[in-house]
Homo-oligomer: A and B are copies of this chain.
Amino acid sequence: MTSSIKDVARVAGVSVATVSRALSGSTVVSPELTARIQAAIHETGYRPNLSARRLRSRDSGTIGLIVADIRNPFFTAVSRAVEDEAYRAGLRVILCNTDENPEKEAMYLNLMEEERVTGVIFAPTRQTADQLALQAWSFPLVLIDRVSARGGHDAVALDNAAASSMLVEHLHAQGYRRIAGVFGNASSSGAERHDGYVAAMFRLGLEPRSMFVPPQAQAAEQAALQWLAEAARPDALIASNGLLLMGLVRAVRQAGLALARDVAVAGFDNESWTEIVEPGLTVIAQPVDAIGRNAMMLLAARLKDPTLPARKLLLSGRCIARGSTARRVSPALPGSAAG
């Protein structure tokens, strides 16, 4: 059916070793034989068998990319960046979705062992992240987005706390004082964003008000609706990711309030809808390309020198101010701080 290096050797009248050498270019093969081999490859329609090559050379040339769900726009963008870098480096990418399920995570890590992958880029749940250090992996591992508290692994993520603070400071500068926030309870990034929010609020002398919710728009919507029904309701709401942010927008509308005029809204993830909605939503844009590229970079560095100490790379977000946090003009609500 498909022809092997043996067939090429036979047709070219050389040994398989010579064909292999001509193919790899590692050793010099005489021009004459090289030409004959080229012709034979053409004639036989030869294609290298990557499984055989891997078995022999003990290099899979493959990296695993394990994320919660590729449909999450953050992971979509990061995946694309990772793949671009991978193919530039001549590596294949195996994509895995875990749905935040620790069992699936374990299964895929196991699969990566069996694939003898060159490396793995992984966005773990909190639970798995904490146990990751307990096991010795046969491949270098770079964590993205969710960074293990225990450390010990290379990682690249948004500087979550700083980004949250940026959001709070922006709202404060625009005249908002009663700033409440919903945060995702599934990954460590939600907790870190919460920390940054609380820290910034304290720094500004404001009283934090927050809630951890499951990663569903509806959960954020419910939380926000309760807050908005209060007499001294918040004058600004923030969400720790795009999904929750959508819930906030729905809640504001359902409460019959106007974005910005009645209540400001801001959040994380510069998804396309945050720009097209009116008014546009103020968000923290994550450096998704840089996260993917740097994850590959850390992987490459570790492959080169496995003794390197673990490195944690925190990248800054960018605050994109839009209409949803326009300067507060209406009189301060009773009970709000003077600023």
Which A residues contact B (CB, under 8 angstroms)? 1-2, 47-52, 54-55, 60, 69-71, 76-77, 79-80, 83-84, 87, 92-97, 110-111, 113-116, 138, 246, 249-250, 271-273, 276-278
Minimum distance in angstroms from A84 CB to a CB of chain B: 8
When chains A and B are docked, how far (Å) is the Cα of A273 from the Cα of B273? 4
Once the chains bind, are B83 and A76 in contact (CB under 8 Å)?
no
Chain B residues whose C-beta falls within 8 Å of the C-beta of A80 in the assembled complex: 69-71, 97
26 A-B contact pairs sorted by A residue (CB < 8 Å): A1-B138, A2-B116, A2-B138, A47-B110, A47-B114, A48-B114, A49-B116, A50-B114, A51-B52, A51-B54, A51-B116, A70-B70, A70-B83, A71-B77, A71-B80, A79-B95, A80-B97, A83-B95, A84-B97, A87-B96, A271-B272, A271-B273, A273-B273, A273-B276, A277-B277, A278-B278
Chain B residues whose C-beta falls within 8 Å of the C-beta of A71 in the assembled complex: 76-77, 80
When chains A and B are docked, how far (Å) is the Cα of A208 from the Cα of B92? 46
Minimum distance in angstroms from A50 CB to a CB of chain B: 5
When chains A and B are docked, how far (Å) is the Cα of A243 from the Cα of B87? 26
Check A70/B79 contact, CB under 8 A, given A95-B95, A272-B273: yes
Q: A47-B110, A48-B114 given. 6 additional CB < 8 A pairs?
A: A50-B116, A70-B76, A70-B80, A92-B94, A92-B111, A276-B277
Minimum distance in angstroms from A338 CB to a CB of chain B: 35
Chain B residues whose C-beta falls within 8 Å of the C-beta of A50 in the assembled complex: 114-116
In the complex, residue of chain B having the shortest beta-carbon distance to the beta carbon of A69: B80
Once the chains bind, are A276 and B246 in contact (CB under 8 Å)?
yes
Minimum distance in angstroms from A242 CB to a CB of chain B: 9
In the complex, residue of chain B having the shortest beta-carbon distance to the beta carbon of A138: B2
Chain B residues whose C-beta falls within 8 Å of the C-beta of A60 in the assembled complex: 51
Minimum distance in angstroms from A216 CB to a CB of chain B: 13
Chain B residues whose C-beta falls within 8 Å of the C-beta of A52 in the assembled complex: 51, 55
In the complex, residue of chain B having the shortest beta-carbon distance to the beta carbon of A84: B97
Instruction: Give the one of A77, A111, A272, A276 with max B CB within 10 A.
Output: A276
When chains A and B are docked, how far (Å) is the Cα of A1 from the Cα of B273? 50
Minimum distance in angstroms from A97 CB to a CB of chain B: 6
7 nearest A-B residue pairs (beta carbon): A273-B273, A51-B54, A51-B55, A95-B95, A47-B113, A50-B114, A51-B51
Chain B residues whose C-beta falls within 8 Å of the C-beta of A138 in the assembled complex: 1-2
Chain B residues whose C-beta falls within 8 Å of the C-beta of A111 in the assembled complex: 92
Minimum distance in angstroms from A93 CB to a CB of chain B: 6
Once the chains bind, are A83 and B55 in contact (CB under 8 Å)?
no
Chain B residues whose C-beta falls within 8 Å of the C-beta of A55 in the assembled complex: 49, 51-52, 55
In the complex, residue of chain B having the shortest beta-carbon distance to the beta carbon of A110: B47
Minimum distance in angstroms from A109 CB to a CB of chain B: 11
Once the chains bind, are B97 and A94 in contact (CB under 8 Å)?
no
Chain B residues whose C-beta falls within 8 Å of the C-beta of A97 in the assembled complex: 80, 83-84
When chains A and B are docked, how far (Å) is the Cα of A271 from the Cα of B275? 14
Check A249/B276 contact, CB under 8 A, given A2-B138, A71-B76, A95-B95: yes
